[in-house]
Chain A
Amino acid sequence: MIVRLEVNGERRLVDLPPLTRLLDALRGPLGLTGTKEGCGEGECGSCTVLLDGDPVNACLVATAQCEGRSVTTVEGLGALDGRARETGGLSLLQAAFVTEGGAQCGICTPGMLIAAEALLRETVDGANRKPTDTEIREAVAGNICRCTGYQRIVDSIAQAAALRRRVSPADWVRENLPFAKAEGTRGLL
């Protein structure tokens, strides 16, 4: 079945069996391997993407159900920022995970970032306020991390929320991640 959808702001088309999981469409023909598979059963959140702005588990969504809809993956976070070149490809949220130690092996990180992005859009962008600690923990409650413990992830998200309104990602990255400008940080996440 031919399915037309928007992925990270670009119009894309895939021709796949209709019940192919969105996860497999992304990692296969769409070439976006940032989205990871952990459990395949909706439990771990490592496959989290935004579907029309809401976080969903891509392992539980049929590709055919995405016809005409918009999908955001971790690859889209920096790019959607519009200042990707200045920030070495990272959004402020991604960069905060680097400086605050929110990522170790990185398997859960794409899902954590997307779940956190949904929260920041709702609270910081939508209501012009910082999320509470409880809200941050609830937002990533469906995302399991084997490595970091959760405190650093929560700290990373809180840091990104505090900065999201106040500074441009470019300035913040220049100050906190001096290597980013020179080398680009794409390889880090």
Chain B
Amino acid sequence: MSLPELSLHGLERPDSLGSVCERLAERAARGEKTVLLAGGTDWFVERHVAPATDGSEAELVLDVSRLPELRGISASGDTLWIGAATTYLELRRHPVVAARVPLLPAMSKDVGAVQIQARGTLGGNLATASPAADGVGALAALDATVHLLSVRGPRSIAISDYFTGYKRSVRAADEVITGFTVQMPGEGSFQYWRKVGTRLAQAISKVALAGVAEVSDGQVTRLGLGMVSVAPTTAFLPTVRALALRRPLDRIADSALDAATQADVSPIDDVRSTGDYRRHVSGALVREFFRTLRSR
């Protein structure tokens, strides 16, 4: 079965980021819908489920998948830049990422299957602001900065300030996500990724936890956590962070971690799991994170 409704959408391939911003601004001012197509792994599925029904309603598609400004990974000192159109497979293959931020390839390996990893991008993962986004969980644990651009200029936002609600964010209709910066964890840091789904591949997370910690003289000096599918947005677990940061590791009790985790999550029942199961797994993952950290 082909998808003839796809022919209702126009497609443009702007040759620079500037022209993408101009096109978005013009169209947003007229109230017209525009979609940026990166890997297409979310957009094509949405069109398969809900095809456009008439040409005037069909959103215009701007292909941003090959814009040089959105592509590439580069390190400068301890700062890592990841362009929004970077794919999971590129994250898996990058030597600096593998050496300094192994959390990212570990997460990427668990996204869909290799066919999805070869196309899906981090920018596309954030854009939909879904709490089930694995890439965003990892970016949350890394306390990444999100970079946005529009005709009004660039702005940078801490990822913890990005979400305003379920599938909602501070990003305006005319803004492009250009990329992310991350302060790479130091040598000897602890990085953790564990995804719990129905099976290892092609499963959206029931719960997943990304974590980053640095410990100095037995004290937690850096702590980042991002939990997936346990709240209306990616969960940053602020209570757990506050409990453990700058604390001696051996004085962080499991019972306190459990209470903090439960205060930070508000999971629901849905097609993939139940709220009860998610609460149980949330606690278990946070405990496992600290148990592994302590035993290093």
Contact = CB atoms under 8 A, between A and B. Distances in A.
B7 A115 contact: no
Nearest to A143: B113
A20 B66 CA distance: 18
B45 interface: yes
A41 B7 contact: no
Interface residues of A, number: 36
Contacts of B115: 42, 45, 48, 55-57, 115, 142
A167 interface: no
Given A19-B6, A59-B44, A54 B63 contact: no
Contacts of B70: none
Contacts of A67: 13
B11 to A, nearest CB: 4
Interface string A14-52: 000111110110011000000001001111010010010
A10 B54 CA distance: 36
B3 A65 contact: no
A118 interface: yes
B114 A65 contact: no
Interface of A: 1, 17-21, 23-24, 27-28, 37, 40-43, 45, 48, 51, 54-57, 59-62, 64-65, 67, 115, 118, 138-139, 141-143
Given A23-B2, A55-B114, 20 more contacts: A17-B6, A18-B61, A19-B6, A20-B7, A21-B3, A21-B6, A24-B3, A40-B3, A45-B113, A48-B115, A54-B118, A60-B44, A62-B37, A62-B44, A62-B61, A64-B63, A65-B37, A139-B114, A141-B113, A142-B112
29 contacts: A17-B9, A18-B10, A18-B61, A19-B11, A19-B61, A20-B7, A23-B2, A42-B45, A42-B112, A45-B113, A54-B89, A54-B114, A55-B114, A55-B115, A55-B118, A56-B118, A57-B119, A61-B40, A62-B63, A64-B11, A64-B13, A65-B65, A138-B109, A139-B114, A141-B200, A142-B112, A142-B113, A142-B202, A143-B113
